[in-house]
Amino acid sequence: MNNEYDVIVVGAGCAGPAAAKKAAELGLSVLLLEKSQVPGEKNVSGTCLNGAAILDPDLQYIVECPTERLIKEMRTYHINDDRTTVFHEIPSEGVLLLSVRRDHLDSWHTEEAKKAGAEVKLSTTVVDIIEENDYVKGVITDSGEKYFGKVVIDAAGVNSIVGRKAGLIPKRKGTSMILYITAAVKLGEEVINERFGDCIEYYLSPDIQYKTWPWIFPKKDTVTLGTGGYMDENLINDEFPNVKKYMDNFMNLPIVKKKIEGGEIVSWGVHLEYDETIERRVRNGLILTGEAGGFVIPFLGEGMPEAFFTGIYAAISAAEAIEAGDFSEAKLSERYEQLLGDNFFMQAFRHIAAVNKEAILSKSDEEITRMMQQVIMGGGFISNAIHTKWMKGVEDEDMELIQEAYDFQELIVPYASVDPDFENLIKERGRK
Ligand SMILES: Cc1cc2nc3c(=O)[nH]c(=O)nc-3n(C[C@H](O)[C@H](O)[C@H](O)COP(=O)(O)OP(=O)(O)OC[C@H]3O[C@@H](n4cnc5c(N)ncnc54)[C@H](O)[C@@H]3O)c2cc1C
C-alpha cells in the first residue's frame, strides 16, 4: 500500500522538518503532513534563534537558513517613574542570535527534509489518529485519507490534535498559560539600522506586561514587538480590559514611541503558550516533540532550538525502534529520554527559565524593575536568574543560596559567553 510509511510526522513548523529530515537521512520512509499551504505562513511567533544551541553539531545545518539579521547586541530597559536603566551588552565579537522569519525558515526547512528524501503533503490537516491494540498506527486527514506509520511523530505545536487525541496533552488551566500579543511594525531597513542596528531589546516597566518580559526584535525592514501575561485572574481587570492595552502601553512608552515613529503596523497576532511540563510524551507508536511535548520555555519566549532537538531525537529513537522491530512506549521513550537528558543546552535553559519565572512571579513589576536596576552586572535573562538567587542569599544570609548561584554561573559558562565559533560557522556555512 502506498499510504504506509516507517514514520509519519505531523506539522512542518520547527520540530517537524527537523524530525522528517533526520528520519529520512537515517534511511526511513517518511511522510510529513502540514496543514498550511506554505510552511510557517501563519506563524509570526518564534523569531530569534539562539546561537549557543545552534553550535551543537546536530543543529549546525540550521545556519544555512534564510536569515533576516545577525543579532550581535542586546539591550534591556528597566523603566520606572524616577529613572530608566539601560543595560547594553556588546560582546567584543561573535553573534548572539539569528533573527529569522518563520515563513522563510519553515519553508526552507521543509525543503531540506524533502531533499533528504521525505515526502511532504501541504494543505493537509490531521483530524484524528488511528489506534489498534493500544498502539498509535497512523493518522486521518481532513479529506478522510488514512496514512499508516510504524511511528507517528507529533510536531503539530501547542495544541496538537494528535497529542490530545492520544490522551497525552491534558486540558490546561488558565494559570498555566501565557497569552502573548505581537505586532509587526514596518520601518524600512535604513531606519532599523539607525534606531536598532543588530540589537534585540527587552523592556520591563509597570503596566506594559503582566509577569512577562516584552521585547522588540529587528528583522530586515520590520521590527516585531511582543508582550503579554500569565492568564490568571489578574491579567484582565478594570484598568486592563484586554491584552491589547498592555501592547498599547508598551508602544506608548516615550522611548518606544520614538523608536517606532513613522512605522506602519503591518500585522497583529495573539498567541497562547502553555507553561507546564507534559508528564508523558511517548505512547506505543507515538512521540511528542516541540511544543506538542511541552518543550518550550514560554517565559523566555524560547522554543525553537528545543523543537529542533526533540524532532531530531524523536527521529533517532524511531529509527532504532524500527530497526529492533519494537515500537512500544518503553523502547521509544528509553532512548528519547536518554538523548534529552544528555542535552546540556536544554537542561541549562530550563534551569534559567525556572529561576527567572520564580523571581518574576514572586514580585511586582516595580519591585523587579528596582531590583534589576540595583544589579551591577547586565540585565539579561541569564544574569537575572543568577542574581536573583545571589541577592536572595544575601538578603536571607543564606550561604547555600549564594553557593547555588555560584555553581549555576559556572554551569552555564558556555552559554553565557559569546562563542566566536558561532560567527565562524555562519561565515563557513551561512548564506545570509
Ligand atoms: C509570541 C511568541 C514569540 C516567540 N519567540 C521565540 C523566539 O524568539 N525564539 C524561540 O526560540 N522561540 C520563540 N517562541 C517559541 C517558538 O515559536 C515555539 O516554541 C516553536 O515554534 C515550536 O515549534 P513546534 O514545531 O513545536 O510548533 P510550531 O512551530 O507551532 O509548528 C507546528 C506546525 O504544525 C502545523 N499543524 C498544527 N496542527 C496541525 C494538524 N492538525 N495537521 C497538520 N499540521 C498541523 C502548524 O500549521 C505548524 O506549521 C515564541 C513563541 C511565541 C508565542
**pLDDT tens, residue by residue, 110-130:** 999 999 999 999 999 999 999
Pair 17, 156 in one domain: yes
Same domain (yes/no): 255, 192 = yes
Kindly state whether residue 314 falls inside one of the protein's structural domains.
yes
Considering only 194-198, 265-269, 358-362, which range has the smallest mean pLDDT? Answer: 358-362
- Residue 184 CB-density burial (10 A; 0-12 exposed, 13-18 middle, 19+ buried): buried
What mean pLDDT, rounded, does the chain reach? 88
Give the number of the atom of ligand 1 that is nearest the alpha carbon of residue 47.
8
CB of 126 within 8 A of CB of 156? yes
Same domain, 216 and 262: yes
- Note the pLDDT tens digit of each residue in 248-281: 999 999 999 999 999 999 988 888 888 777 889 9
Domain that holds residue 366: 348-416
**How many H-runs (helices) and E-runs (strands) does the chain carry?**
15, 18
Query: Residue 422 falls within a domain, yes or no?
Result: no
Does residue 431 sit within a domain? no
Residue 165, pLDDT score: 97
pLDDT-wise least confident of 63-67, 238-242, 300-304 = 300-304
pLDDT, one tens digit per residue, over 166-178 is 999 987 776 778 8
Residue whose CA is at the smallest distance from ligand 1 atom 13: 46
Residue 375 domain flag? yes
- Closest CA to ligand 1's atom 5: 46
Least confident of 22-26, 295-299, 385-389: 385-389
The helix or strand, by DSSP H or E, that contains position 368, with its residue range, turns out to be: helix 365-374
Q: For residue 16, which atom of ligand 1 is closest to its CA?
A: 25
Query: What is the best residue among 9, 21, 35 to mutate for testing ligand 1's pocket, by most ligand atoms within 8 Å of CB?
Result: 35
- What is the CATH classification number for the domain harbouring 270? 3.30.9.10
Chain centroid to CA 9 = 19
Total number of domains in the chain: 3
Residues 262, 150, single domain; the answer is no
CA nearest neighbour of 36 among 64, 59, 13, 65: 13
Q: Is residue 26 part of a domain?
A: yes
In a domain, 424, yes or no: no
Is there a single domain that holds both residue 181 and residue 142?
no
Where is the domain boundary, 288, 317, 343? 343
Task: Say yes or no: 219 and 208 in one domain.
Answer: yes
pTM value > 0.85:
yes
Q: Which residues are 126's β-sheet partners?
A: 141
Percent of the chain clearing pLDDT 90 (strictly above): 57
Residues 167 and 152 both lie in one domain: yes
201 and 333 fall within a common domain: no
Q: What is the mean pLDDT of residues 134-138?
A: 98
Same domain membership, residue 108 and residue 20: yes
Distance 318 CA to ligand 1 centre (A): 22
Can you tell me whether residue 231 is helix, strand or coil? Answer: coil
Same domain for 167 and 297:
yes
Mean pLDDT of 340-360: 79
Check whether residue 129 and residue 12 sit in a common domain: yes
pLDDT at residue 376, as a whole number: 46
Can you give the pLDDT at residue 377? 45
**In angstroms, rounded to a whole number, what is the distance separating the alpha carbons of residues 136 and 321?**
14
Which residues sit with their C-beta closer than 6 Å to ligand 1? 10-16, 33-36, 39, 43, 45-48, 125-126, 155-157, 160-161, 180, 182, 226, 271, 273, 290-292, 296, 301-305, 307
CATH number of residue 157's parent domain: 3.50.50.60
- For residues 297 and 196, which has the higher predicted lDDT (pLDDT)? 196
Q: What is the residue with the minimal CA distance to atom 1 of ligand 1?
A: 45
CA of 307 to the centre of ligand 1 (A): 8
Q: Of 247, 274, 301, which residue is a domain's last?
A: 274
Mutate which of 31, 107, 108, 304 for ligand 1 pocket (most atoms within 8 A of beta carbon): 304
Q: At what angle do helices 344-361 and 399-411 cross, to 10 degrees?
A: 140
Tell me the angle at which helices 304-324 and 15-25 cross, rounded to the nearest 10 degrees: 30
CA 296 to ligand 1: nearest atom? 19
Question: Which has the minimum average pLDDT: 281-290, 325-334, 343-352?
Answer: 343-352
Are 281 and 142 contained in the same domain?
Answer: yes
Q: Which residues contact 370 (CB under 8 A, 6 or more apart)?
A: 80
Mark which of 343, 362, 393 sits at the end of a domain: 343
